[in-house]
C-alpha cells in the first residue's frame, strides 16, 4: 500500500473515531452482565476506557457499532486463522444448519474432524470433542491423574490453561513452589496439588519431581507460551520435559489450544519435533465456533468413558455446526503455502515493530511463531513470566490507545499474544506499521 492510501485509511479511521455507541452498549451490558462482559479481558480493564462493541467482521477487518473500521489482530483470540466471515466456513455452517443445529447423538461429521486431527498429529491416535479449551485441559488432567493414580500437576508460571480450579493458581516464589489459590472460590486443598515452575526452566521442573517423588501425574505446558506475550520454548526445554516425564512415569500434556494448527500444520509438536502423550486443542479446530478437543495415545484414551472408567461428558460436545466450521477451516489450511504466508506476515509485523521501536528509541522485544506474535515494552530477552512482568505497562497503554485511534485492534492486555490470519495482506501489515511508528514516537515520551 502506498503512503497516500495508508494516510487516507488512517484519516478515515480517525474521522470515525468516536465510540459513543460502544460506551452506551457497555453501560447497558453492565446492568445485566457482570462487569458488562462475558470474559474478563474484554472489559479493557488494563488499558482503561470502554471496550469496543463489534457489529461485523470481514477478512482482516472488523467494524464496531459506531461504524469505525479496524485491522484486527485479535481474531476472536485466535480461532479465525482464515479471517472473519470466510465464505467457505460460512457455507459449511449454513449447509449443516439446514439439517438441524444439535442432536445430542453421534454425527458423521464428528468422525471426519477427528480423523483430520489424527492425520495431522501423529501423537493423537484417538480424540474426544468438547466445547472449550478449559474443558479440554480439565479433562486431560483428569485422565492423566486416573491413568497414573497420582494427584499432583506441574504447570509453568504464566501459562494459562483455562479456569478450572486446580489451574487457577498464583505464581509462587522460589523454584517449583506449591500453588496458592488465584481466585476466591478455589479451595486451597485443590490449589496445593498444583506445582509451579518458571517457564523454560528445565532444572526447576526436575527439582519438582525430586521434591514430590511418585506424586506428579503430569506436566501441562503451552509449547509456545501465549499468555505472557509470545514466548517460544528455549532449545532443549520441550525435549527435556519429554525425557523427564519418561523417566518419572508422568504424562506430558501439550496445551495447544492456542498453537494448535496456528503455528504449523503439525501444530507446535510438529514444529519442534516433540511428541506429547496428550494434546489439548481449541480455537482453530472450531473455526470460530465453540469447539475444542483432547486426544493422545491409545492406552490413555481407551480409559475415557464409555470405553473406560474415567468419566467425561458434554451435551453439546461434537456440535455439528462447530464440527463443520472446524473441518472447513482445517481443509483450507491444507492449501499449499498457507503456513508460509502466515509465518511471513507475522514475522514481517514483529520485525517491523522492532525496527520502528529502535528508530523511536523505545525498548521493545518482539517475537513471532507461525501465525502468532507478541511484543513487550522491555529490553529482553523474555524467557519466562518474571521477565514478561517487567513490561512497561504505561507505555503499553499509550501504544494501545494510539493504535486503536489509528484503526488497529490489538489485544487489550500487555500479556496476550496477537494473531495474524490468511486474510491479512502485506498492505495491512504496512498500514499497521505506519500507525505504529507514530504511536511509538508518542510512547518514547513516557519514562
To which residue does cell 523427564 refer?
244
**244: which 3 cell numbers?**
523427564
Give the Cα separation of 196 and 193 in Å (integer): 10
> What ranges make up the beta strands (E) of 115-265?
126-130, 152-156, 169-170, 180-181, 194-197, 216-221, 251-256
**Of all residues in the chain, what percent are helix, strand and coil, respectively (each to 5)?**
40, 15, 40
283 is an active site residue: yes
**43: which 3 cell numbers?**
472489559
**436: which 3 cell numbers?**
505504529
Helix axes 393-405, 426-443, angle to 10 degrees: 130
Distance of CA 334 to the CA centre of its chain: 21
Give the Cα separation of 100 and 121 in Å (integer): 30
**255: which 3 cell numbers?**
496445551
Contacts of 357 (CB under 8 A, 6+ apart): 363, 364, 366, 440
CB-CB neighbours of 308 under 10 Å: 14
**Which of the following is catalytic: 64, 66, 255, 277?**
255
374: which DSSP letter? E
**Which of the following is catalytic: 283, 294, 339, 415?**
283
Q: Is 134 helix (H, G, I), strand (E, B) or coil?
A: helix
> What ranges make up the beta strands (E) of 243-289?
251-256, 278-281
Give the residue among 316, 300, 405 at the shortest CA–CA distance from 103: 316
**Which of the following is catalytic: 147, 160, 199, 339?**
160
160 is an active site residue: yes
Active site residues: 160, 255, 283
Amino acid at each position: 500500500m502506498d503512503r497516500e492510501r495508508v494516510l487516507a485509511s488512517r484519516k478515515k479511521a480517525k474521522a470515525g473515531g468516536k465510540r459513543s455507541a460502544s460506551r452506551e452498549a457497555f453501560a447497558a451490558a453492565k446492568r445485566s452482565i457482570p462487569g458488562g462482559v462475558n470474559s474478563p479481558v474484554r472489559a479493557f480493564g488494563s488499558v482503561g476506557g470502554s471496550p469496543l462493541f463489534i457489529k461485523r467482521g470481514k477478512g482482516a477487518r472488523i467494524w464496531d457499532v459506531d461504524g469505525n473500521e479496524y485491522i484486527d489482530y485479535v481474531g476472536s483470540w485466535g480461532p479465525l486463522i482464515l479471517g472473519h466471515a470466510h465464505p467457505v466456513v460460512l457455507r459449511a455452517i449454513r449447509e449443516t444448519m439446514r439439517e438441524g443445529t444439535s442432536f445430542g447423538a453421534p454425527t458423521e461429521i464428528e468422525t471426519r474432524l477427528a480423523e483430520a486431527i489424527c492425520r495431522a498429529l501423529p501423537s493423537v491416535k484417538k480424540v474426544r470433542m468438547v466445547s472449550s479449551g478449559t474443558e479440554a485441559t480439565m479433562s486431560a488432567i483428569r485422565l492423566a491423574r486416573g491413568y497414573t493414580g497420582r494427584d499432583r500437576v506441574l504447570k509453568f508460571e504464566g501459562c494459562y490453561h483455562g479456569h478450572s480450579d486446580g489451574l487457577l493458581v498464583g505464581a509462587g516464589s522460589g523454584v517449583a513452589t506449591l500453588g496458592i489459590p488465584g481466585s476466591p472460590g478455589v479451595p486451597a486443598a485443590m490449589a496445593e496439588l498444583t506445582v509451579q515452575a518458571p517457564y523454560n526452566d528445565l532444572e526447576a521442573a526436575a527439582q519438582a519431581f525430586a521434591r514430590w517423588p511418585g506424586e506428579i501425574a503430569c506436566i501441562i505446558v503451552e509449547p509456545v507460551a501465549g499468555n505472557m506475550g509470545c514466548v517460544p520454548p528455549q532449545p532443549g526445554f520441550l525435549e527435556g520435559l519429554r525425557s523427564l516425564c519418561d523417566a518419572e512415569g508422568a504424562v506430558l500434556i501439550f496445551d495447544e489450544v492456542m498453537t494448535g494448527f496456528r503455528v504449523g500444520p503439525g501444530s507446535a509438536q510438529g514444529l519442534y519435533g516433540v511428541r506429547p502423550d496428550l494434546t489439548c486443542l481449541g480455537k482453530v479446530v472450531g473455526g470460530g465456533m465453540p469447539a475444542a478437543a483432547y486426544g493422545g495415545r491409545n492406552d490413555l484414551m481407551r480409559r475415557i468413558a464409555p470405553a473406560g472408567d474415567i468419566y467425561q461428558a458434554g451435551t453439546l460436545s461434537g456440535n455439528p455446526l462447530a464440527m463443520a466450521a472446524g473441518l472447513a477451516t482445517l481443509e483450507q489450511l491444507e492449501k499449499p503455502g498457507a503456513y508460509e504466508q502466515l509465518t511471513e506476515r507475522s514475522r514481517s509485523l514483529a520485525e517491523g515493530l522492532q525496527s520502528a521501536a529502535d528508530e523511536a528509541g523505545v525498548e521493545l522485544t518482539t517475537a513471532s511463531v507461525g501465525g502468532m506474535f507478541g511484543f513487550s515494552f522491555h529490553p529482553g530477552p523474555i524467557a519466562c513470566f518474571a521477565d514478561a512482568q517487567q513490561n512497561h505497562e504505561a507505555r503499553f497503554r499509550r501504544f494501545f490507545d494510539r493504535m486503536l485511534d489509528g484503526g488497529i485492534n490489538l489485544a487489550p492486555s500487555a500479556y496476550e499474544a496477537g494473531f495474524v490470519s490468511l486474510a491479512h495482506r502485506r498492505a495491512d501489515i504496512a498500514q499497521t506499521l505506519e500507525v505504529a511508528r507514530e504511536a511509538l514516537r508518542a510512547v518514547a515520551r513516557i519514562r
